[in-house]
């Protein structure tokens, strides 16, 4: 069984390799999460050691603060319509490079940034690879708070089992950077999630889902080996 320490080292290794993809002068989307934290650290070291400069467009307050602490220049999302590259983690990655994201409740902004980019690169350890989306992780859905009851009913009508995500360190639900709630929804493994995703996007009160279809161009996947972490690159079939 893969250890927690192996997962940490795999994330660090994948993030450090991904940091080399950002070239001087680029405007780069920077995602959110534990793997991206390693990416931001690696980019800070490149700026310091190589005098490399680029502009970051962060998908969350957390990533924005981490970049600012390292002196990485930032541009607000609303001031960016195009990115050279975007790099982010994922909670699940299918063989087709479709994703479930939103473990950090930033999937709406992450999806906008991914869509802006000429190239969207996912960095994960091999534990995030699944044969079919929804195998181990629920689908996060960002919801307008006043529509919560209606949306939960609609999600149950679609065959889902919705659970409002609650915070740690505070009472009550998780509130996203957009001021909304997150409902985590499990569906039967045989469910056609593309069809469900279309239905969710037609539901008033749903802001965005954590299903990322046809957005990722490449995945850098770190795995363990006798000599330490090894990297495998998966490329979207065209």
Annotated catalytic residues are 110
Q: Which two tokens stand for residue 39?
A: 């990416």
d(CA 189, CA 145): 28
d(CA 51, CA 88): 23
Alpha helix segments (H runs only) across 51-103? 61-69
d(CA 24, CA 53): 5
- C-beta of residue 22 within 8 angstroms of C-beta of residue 43: yes
- C-beta of residue 26 within 8 angstroms of C-beta of residue 49: no
Q: Where on the phi/psi map is residue 154: left (φ > 0), alpha (ψ -120 to 50), or beta?
A: alpha
d(CA 101, CA 88): 9
Q: Residue 219: beta bridge partners?
A: 122, 234
End-to-end Cα distance, the chain: 34
């Amino acid at each position: 069984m893969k250890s927690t320490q192996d997962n940490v080292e795999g994330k660090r290794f994948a993030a450090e390799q991904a940091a080399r993809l950002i070239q001087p002068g680029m405007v780069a989307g920077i995602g959110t999460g534990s793997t991206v934290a390693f990416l931001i650290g690696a980019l800070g070291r490149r700026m310091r050691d190589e005098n490399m400069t680029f502009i970051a467009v962060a998908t969350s307050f957390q990533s924005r603060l981490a970049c600012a602490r390292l002196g990485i220049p930032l541009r607000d999302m609303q001031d960016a319509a195009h990115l050279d590259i975007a790099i982010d983690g994922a909670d699940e990655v299918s063989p087709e490079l479709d994703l479930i994201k939103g473990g950090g409740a930033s999937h709406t902004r992450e999806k906008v940034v991914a869509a802006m980019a000429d190239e969207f690169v996912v960095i994960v350890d091999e534990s995030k690879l699944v044969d079919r989306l929804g195998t181990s992780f629920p689908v996060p859905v960002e919801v307008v708070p006043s529509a919560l009851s209606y949306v939960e009913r609609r999600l149950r009508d679609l065959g889902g089992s919705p659970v409002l995500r609650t915070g740690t360190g505070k009472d009550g639900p998780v509130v996203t950077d957009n001021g909304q709630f997150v409902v985590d929804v499990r569906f039967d493994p045989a469910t056609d999630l593309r069809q469900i995703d279309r239905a969710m996007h037609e539901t008033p009160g749903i802001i965005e889902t954590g299903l990322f279809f046809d957005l990722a161009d490449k995945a850098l996947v770190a795995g363990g080996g006798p000599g330490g972490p090894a990297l495998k690159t998966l490329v979207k079939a065209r």
